[in-house]
Amino acid sequence: DTGVSQDPRHKITKRGQNVTFRCDPISEHNRLYWYRQTLGQGPEFLTYFQNEAQLEKSRLLSDRFSAERPKGSFSTLEIQRTEQGDSAMYLCASSRTSGGAYNEQFFGPGTRLTVL
């Protein structure tokens, strides 16, 4: 399967614990995005990388959230001291980059986080 993969698919944790999610993009894609989707909402942008550089972070990304893409391939999203409001589907997407044209973002299946 050459699509975007995410691990784990489901995570249940207690409030205050740290969690880490992984995303493996399509191999030739140099751009990687993280989005969050809560109940009744569309996906909301969190952050994105071009290769290993983190280019933009949304105001939704509080200090408890950190994302990395150390070698420009897979990425991790860590949430420290989880809160019940962090319960959501965390979606990863990847795309190529070519100037002046739209580059389709391909989404992974998501990681559903439940904070008890």
Partner 1 sequence: DQQVKQNSPSLSVQEGRISILNCDYTNSMFDYFLWYKKYPAEGPTFLISISSIKDKNEDGRFTVFLNKSAKHLSLHIVPSQPGDSAVYFCAALLVDSGNTPLVFGKGTRLSVIA
Q: Which spans of this chain sit near partner 1 (rule: CB under 8 A)? A: 4, 31, 33, 35, 40-45, 48, 56, 58, 91, 93, 95, 97, 99-110, 112
- Long-range contacts, 42-45 (Cβ 8 Å, 24+): 43/91
- The residues pairing with 36 across neighbouring beta strands, listed in sequence order, are 44, 90
Phi, psi of 61 (to 5 degrees): -85, 90
User: 67 or 93: whose CB is closer to partner 1?
Assistant: 93
Least distance in Å: CB of 43 to partner 1?
5
Q: Which of 17, 29, 40 is nearest to 116 (CA)?
A: 17
Q: Which of 27, 111, 35, 110 is nearest to 72 (CA)?
A: 27
User: 17 or 41: whose CB is closer to partner 1?
Assistant: 41
User: 21 or 35: whose CB is closer to partner 1?
Assistant: 35
Least distance in Å: CB of 19 to partner 1?
19
User: 79 or 93: whose CB is closer to partner 1?
Assistant: 93
| Strand 10-13 versus strand 5-7 pairing type | unpaired
Least distance in Å: CB of 25 to partner 1?
12
